[in-house]
């Protein structure tokens, strides 16, 4: 197994890939391609299940179209003994019923083909980062802190009153500090599917959050990069 930087040339190496995320080094991932990890006479399903029993992985990138079995079978077998490991399905099956089946069977995300590798990278980042938001982790940006366990924000130890949506936006920005987040990405990870890309709702909530941060911190740590997205950065 090889330690690699997560980029569009390394992520999708085969139909069944196991991913380790070495937090807090955000860009370091251990990538294991099951199609080359074992003897070619052994099925991908058996190879993956053996490796998942031996070592803890943060994410399984699973193509439903495997050469010797159906990816859904692998997912069902995994979920019999493991309910924690994240699973991202890749598939050309784009009907709503297919997506529902995959998610109901135990997948955490479902990406249809064709897809842009940058989107795949973003989904992998999000799924692996989510694991740490469930632990007792405090995110910081200057004098702003966010407790991912209690989901409370503080400025210099003073609590900051936020709505549920403002809390979700702040958490996602702090998890991705230094990286611009587009409106589409917020829709994907903070909002539900009832909000469309043309809704003004996201801008309204972000504006309200920025006003609260500016009032509490004396400056606004969220910057709007026109045409790119919103990014959180410490004041220079």
Q: What are phi and psi of 72, to 5 degrees?
A: -65, -35
Least confident of 3-12, 75-84, 160-169: 3-12
Query: What topology does CATH give the domain 2-133?
Result: Rossmann fold (3.40.50)
DSSP state of 217: H
Sketch the domain layout of the chain as residue ranges. Answer: 2-133, 138-232
- Give the model's pLDDT for residue 20: 44
Q: How far apart are CA 229 and CA 206, in angstroms?
A: 11
Q: Is the pLDDT of residue 163 over 80?
A: yes
As a whole number of Å, the end-to-end CA separation of the chain is 39
Ramachandran angles phi, psi of 171, nearest 5° = -60, -45
Fold type of domain 138-232: Arc Repressor Mutant, subunit A (1.10.10)
Between CA 5 and CA 21 the distance in angstroms is 10
Torsion of CA 26, 9, 232, 22, to 10 degrees: -10
For the segment 40-85, what is each residue's pLDDT rounded down to a tens digit? Answer: 444 556 776 777 776 667 788 888 877 777 888 888 988 888 887 8
pLDDT in the model for residue 130: 56
Question: Predicted confidence band at 26 (pLDDT cuts at 50, 70, 90)?
Answer: very low
Max mean pLDDT among 64-68, 89-93, 119-123 falls in 89-93
Residue range 170-199, pLDDT digits in tens: 988 998 888 888 888 887 777 654 555 556
Q: How confident is the model at residue 29 (pLDDT cuts 50, 70, 90)?
A: low
């Amino acid at each position: 197994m090889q330690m690699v930087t997560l980029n569009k040339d390394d992520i999708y190496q085969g139909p069944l890939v196991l991913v380790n995320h070495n937090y807090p080094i955000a860009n370091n991932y251990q990538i294991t391609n099951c199609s080359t990890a074992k003897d070619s006479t052994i099925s991908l399903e058996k190879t993956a299940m053996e490796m998942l029993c031996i070592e803890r992985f943060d994410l399984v990138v699973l193509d439903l179209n495997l050469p010797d079995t159906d990816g859904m079978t692998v997912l069902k077998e995994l979920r019999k003994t493991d309910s924690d490991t994240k699973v991202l399905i890749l598939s050309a099956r784009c009907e709503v019923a297919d997506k529902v089946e995959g998610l109901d069977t135990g997948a955490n995300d479902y990406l249809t083909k064709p897809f842009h590798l940058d989107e795949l990278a973003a989904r992998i980042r999000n799924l692996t980062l989510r694991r740490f938001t469930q632990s007792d982790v405090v995110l910081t940006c200057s004098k702003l802190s966010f407790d991912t366990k209690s989901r409370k924000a503080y400025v210099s130890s003073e609590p900051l009153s936020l709505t549920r949506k403002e809390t979700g936006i702040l958490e996602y920005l702090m998890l991705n500090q230094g990286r611009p987040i587009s409106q589409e990405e917020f829709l994907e990870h903070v909002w539900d599917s009832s909000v469309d890309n043309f809704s003004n709702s996201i801008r309204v909530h972000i504006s309200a959050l920025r006003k609260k941060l500016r009032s509490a911190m004396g400056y606004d740590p969220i910057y709007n990069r026109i045409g790119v997205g919103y990014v959180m950065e410490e004041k220079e």
